[in-house]
Structure 1
Amino acid sequence: MLALRAARALVRNSSRSQAVRLISTSKKNSDTATLTDVLGKTEAKSGAVEKKNWVTYGFDFHSEKEDRFFMHIVLFTSVTVGLVMGSYLMAYYPDWGYHDWAQREAFLELRRREAEGLPLIDSNYVEPSKITLPSDEELGNTDIVI
């Protein structure tokens, strides 16, 4: 604990231009143990090998290797088809939303009106003879705003 306080004080009091490196002097080979060392010793003592906890992905219920293989194949294929082919179809789909069709139709209508000598935009879009308006008696005191 005292060495830790001294190291912190050294770091706090050192100038910013000097590099401070703290070196641990403990023996790593005898102080620590890995999990595989401990498990290997217990398996050797008991003589029985424990099965791994394996949860299937649903492609093969008997072989973990085949289950993972088919899972990777299915996911790779679905992502490739879904993203790559889906992006390709969206990029090259002809006239998405029929915006180009409406513009082409408008140009054809303008060209037809010019050829016939009609105004490009007619004030009487619908012929007035086809419209039936209510009479003054039917309107009564209704305000008409134009």
Structure 2
Amino acid sequence: MAALIKLRHMPLVQRSVWNHFNKVSRNISTSKKNSDTATTACETKTEDKNWVSYGFDYTSKEEDTNAHHATFFFSVTLCIVFGGVCWAYSPDVHMRDWAQREAFLELRRREKAGLPPISPNFIDPKLIKLPDESELCDVEIII
């Protein structure tokens, strides 16, 4: 952000872009008057006496306003809006969608084969070692 504000002070940028906004407009009034004299009216910039700075520049109202608008454009539009879109449409890094699709495919395969959705013998009972009654003693078993 600071680089963009400093870019404004470069001579090439000042001559090409920023001088367009700084030109003083001179209008000629051609109203009918008895004296038939042309008057020129110069519009000059007048600093607002009640101007309160945004905190970017305390001496120039134009510099302060430009820096304020640029800062909020980049922070709100680019960071929050485009960052939110990138975050919302980013790929699923935790593979949650993939796991759910695989579960549906497995359920469909088991239904077509006539098997129950989850096998009661998912792990072979011969591989499971359960404790004896003597080892359990007075432990309450809740099923």
Task: Name the TM-score class by shorter chain.
Answer: 0.3 to 0.5
Higher helix share: 1
- Structure with more contact order per residue of length (Cα contacts < 8 Å, sep ≥ 6): 2
Q: TM-score when scaled to structure 1?
A: 0.47
Point out the structure with max Rg over C-alpha: 1
